[in-house]
Structure 1
Amino acid sequence: MKHLFNKLITFINSIRSNIAFYPTLLAAFGFNFAFFMIYLEDRGISTYLLEAVPVLVVDNGNTALALLSSFITGLISMMVFSFSMVMVLLNQASSNYSPRLLPGLISDKNHQVILGIYLFTILYCIFILFSIQPTGDKYQIPGFSVLLGILFTAVCICAFIYFIHNISHNIQINNILDKIFHLAEKRLKHLIDSEEMGEKDFPDTSGWYEYHTEKTGYFQNIALTNVVDICEKKETKLEILPVKGIFVLKGIPVFKSEKELDKETIKDFLSNFNFARGELVEDNYTLAFKQITEIIVKAMSPGINDPGTALNGIDYLMELFALRMKKKDESIISRDEKNYVKLTTVNFEELMYNVISSIRVYGKHDVSLVQKLSTMFLYLKSQEAVHSYYYEIIDKEATTLLEDARDAITNKSDLKIIEKLARKLSLNTNKFQLE
């Protein structure tokens, strides 16, 4: 039962990024709520309220029909406009910033809830409209239900105003960068806190048994609670081989086990691996580095030419790298001070190289960008690191950046700035001096 519950939670987390998740839930609720109100109308709720509080009940059939018909037509138009605005937002973000931003924007809970409110009200009004039946020369009027339709429509209008505000806010690059940063910061802090528990040593896995998956896709997440439960039951330990975010091919080993496993146990382990065609920062903090780097690179490309955005992006990278320096290069999952699972993660050297090498291509000729990156290196060297060799990696990337900048820049005044930056970073200034 516990395993099924954990799998259900994992499944819900994986589909929450779908733009139809909350709209589908609210539409289903609106459908059922309409029939619930029809049931109450059959029990005479409107008749009772008409006698007790007549101001709350619509008692004219033609008025009720006209209101509900107008609400349905107006709300459908409003919903179409809102969906069009979402598509414009996604297209602009993909063109101007990075296609990797789309999963995060699509999974925006506020947009999903607003679209769900529209669908809830539309379905509610449609079925209440059908319940208005003529009896002789009069209509059987669900007066209180019509009043609720009026209130729900007013809520939709307020939601639409908020939607316009929210979508204009979300498309601003500063807000996009800020959202990416805070999601990655939250994930990194969680991982750093989890490293403080349990033993630190994990046995050598070179001779362990390898097992592969029959699925393909991006390795998005894993239900670690379930995996540890199975490890405890089978008295074994695991090493998860793929890095989160990597594309896993069918037949490629995905985990190693200390003990040989039967087919049923292998199936149980693999059922806790979540493969998808997209990625979210909440599950994989390295995606934040990729997204911010791509925003910086696109901003510095000749087609966009927006150095201000690139400089802002480096500020966020600076904070994320400083936080990453507090995390170890390997993650070990423990329970009751006993290690069970070793996760393969992107090490600090690989992460920094991938980020800086991408920026160097478009930024090495721009002195302002080189200065900003040098400021980042200087700041990182002053931060506390969990491993001392992190500082050597920073010096290596700083040296490579300034060497490329020296080769790309010809102006003597700019070259003097490069030499000063090398001196500030305590690098070998001989290779940066003017000839």
Structure 2
Amino acid sequence: MFVPRKVADSYREMINSIGFYPSLFSIGFLLFAIITMSLEYVEPVEQLKSFISVVLVDSAENARTILSTLAGSIISLTVFSFSMVMVVLNSASASLSPRVVPGLITRKSHQMVLGFYLGSIIYSIIMLININKLEGGDTAIPSLGVLFALVFGLISLGLFVFFIHSISKAIQVDNVLNGLFRQTKTEIKSIQARQAECPFNDFPDFTQWHSIKSTTEGYYKGVHTDKLCALLEQENIRIYISVNQGYFTVKGYPFLKCDKDISADEELIAKILDCFIFYIEEYISDHYRYGLTQISEIAVKAMSPGINDPGTAVKSIDMLSILLIKRLEISDTNYSFKHTDNDPLLFIHETSFDELLHDNFTPLRNYAKSDAYVMTNVLEAFKNILFVAHNDEDARNSLFNYLNAIVDDINEQVTNDYDRREIKNMLNSIARISEQQGEELVARFERHQY
């Protein structure tokens, strides 16, 4: 069954909204309030109420007072909590990176707390309007419902303490970086595990395949793999996605290739294109590359004059080095299976190691090239990557190509003799790992004259 792209986009926008879980909780509490009122005066519940009468209210005035106080107090907690969320998002955008904001908005724990607040308010109001509603004019007090409302109010107080603790941690740069690092590492490991489970190395020549043009513009962020593979198996075709995730496509851009010419089958092409996801936000769950980008941007932001936090930049650089080492363990072309002969139906162009170096270190190199401390740590990060990847010729060449650019910037920007000695020591450490290319790098550094 193929879901139209607009429906899928609306669904994704809904579940990534800050109001998604609060809405679900509100509906749940409303239904629970209705169930409570429908069972409040049945005989078994009346017997239970007589057994626990010591914790139940016995007058309509007390019930109204308790419910009104609870509703008003939780409304105050809700307003304050939503205000805290807005402050955190604004602070994260200003001091870290605007790209981390979608991840903070969709944090489930915060949404659930806000949802519990709203649900408790709705429940208390439903109980409040059901006082004195018994037929015959007698006083009817939903005492069990009032007890539940009181319990929800006490839980809300506990959740408020948790919320303040959690929101204060959410804005701390170390916690943000650690969260991004864990998520990105998990995504890389998941790809590595899938490729290890079904190894495949006999890739076809994609240059001979037929192009499929995009019918929309936007940032390509992912694909419904299972849905697309089921269609490809049904039609007995294979698809290669030739662009990186996050690439901006325009109408008519050939971002797909097919092993058969299906240009005349417009309905099939429409079904294939409906499997692709286009939107603005960057979620690490879509691709590990977004996690690398967010860590890199936090490092760049830390080096801005208004923040001036080289320690955060160095920590980000160290995390990038570890993640890039993990990236070397997966194939440059990802793939997905559907049928039993283990012949991939969908091939995905992974962002190459060389592209990752350029995309994540170039902004930092340009912004911090005059800071000897940060540049020394960049060289150390490359040394650590090289230590693992020195037997991988392609990765080694990419590293040294980029190291040449780093050395050129250092030669232009760093003139202090002490700083240059520290940098030379780091370059000598690199040379001990890969002698020939490392010695050429040291010579390049030493050739610069003042």
Contact 2:293 2:360 (C-alpha < 8 Å) held by counterparts? yes
Partner of 1:30: 29
Partner of 1:312: 315
Cα distance, 1:18 vs structure 2: 1.8
Cα distance, 1:251 vs structure 2: 3.4
Distance change >3 Å, CA 417–CA 112, structure 1 → 2: same
Partner of 1:233: 234
Cα distance, 1:417 vs structure 2: 2.3
Cα distance, 1:153 vs structure 2: 0.8
What is the TM-score with the length of structure 2 in the denominator? 0.90
The equivalences for 1:30-429 within 5 A come to: 30-44=29-43, 46-133=45-132, 139-196=139-196, 197-261=198-262, 262-335=265-338, 336=340, 337-384=342-389, 387-426=392-431, 427=438, 428=440, 429=442
Contact 1:210 1:256 (C-alpha < 8 Å) held by counterparts? yes
The answer to whether the aligner puts 1:430 opposite 2:429 as a matched pair is no
Contact 1:10 1:223 (C-alpha < 8 Å) held by counterparts? no
Contact 1:209 1:256 (C-alpha < 8 Å) held by counterparts? yes
Partner of 2:434: none
What is the letter of the counterpart of residue 407 of structure 1? E
Cα distance between partner residues in 2 of 1:413 and 1:56: 75
What is the letter of the counterpart of residue 28 of structure 1? I
Cα distance, 1:113 vs structure 2: 0.7
What is the letter of the counterpart of residue 373 of structure 2? S
What is the letter of the counterpart of residue 358 of structure 1? P
More off after superposition, 136-145 vs 169-178: 136-145
What is the letter of the counterpart of residue 255 of structure 1? L
Cα distance between partner residues in 2 of 1:385 and 1:155: 56
Cα RMSD, aligned residues only = 2.3
Q: Secondary structure at the match of 2:34?
A: helix
Distance change >3 Å, CA 432–CA 334, structure 1 → 2: same
Cα distance between partner residues in 1 of 2:200 and 2:329: 18
More off after superposition, 378-387 vs 68-77: 378-387
Q: Secondary structure at the match of 1:343?
A: strand
Cα distance, 1:182 vs structure 2: 0.5
What is the letter of the counterpart of residue 249 of structure 1? V
What is the letter of the counterpart of residue 128 of structure 1? M
Distance change >3 Å, CA 133–CA 221, structure 1 → 2: farther
Cα distance, 1:230 vs structure 2: 1.1
More off after superposition, 257-266 vs 339-348: 257-266
Distance change >3 Å, CA 286–CA 386, structure 1 → 2: farther
Cα distance, 1:241 vs structure 2: 3.1
What is the letter of the counterpart of residue 431 of structure 1? R
Cα distance between partner residues in 2 of 1:275 and 1:15: 15
Q: Secondary structure at the match of 2:240?
A: strand
1:31-86 CA distance string (max 9 Å, x none): 11111111112535653323333224322111111111111111111101000000
Contact 2:18 2:106 (C-alpha < 8 Å) held by counterparts? yes
Q: Secondary structure at the match of 1:256?
A: strand
More off after superposition, 81-90 vs 396-405: 396-405
Gaps of 5+ in 1: none
What is the letter of the counterpart of residue 164 of structure 1? I
Cα distance, 1:213 vs structure 2: 4.0
Q: Secondary structure at the match of 1:81?
A: helix
Cα distance, 1:30 vs structure 2: 1.0
Contact 1:279 1:287 (C-alpha < 8 Å) held by counterparts? yes
Contact 1:327 1:386 (C-alpha < 8 Å) held by counterparts? no
Q: Secondary structure at the match of 1:133?
A: coil
Percent identity of equivalent pairs: 31
1:359-396 CA distance string (max 9 Å, x none): 11121111111111111111111115794310111122
More off after superposition, 179-188 vs 212-221: 212-221
Distance change >3 Å, CA 215–CA 129, structure 1 → 2: farther
What is the TM-score with the length of structure 1 in the denominator? 0.93
Contact 2:389 2:396 (C-alpha < 8 Å) held by counterparts? no
Q: Secondary structure at the match of 1:342?
A: strand
What is the letter of the counterpart of residue 294 of structure 1? E
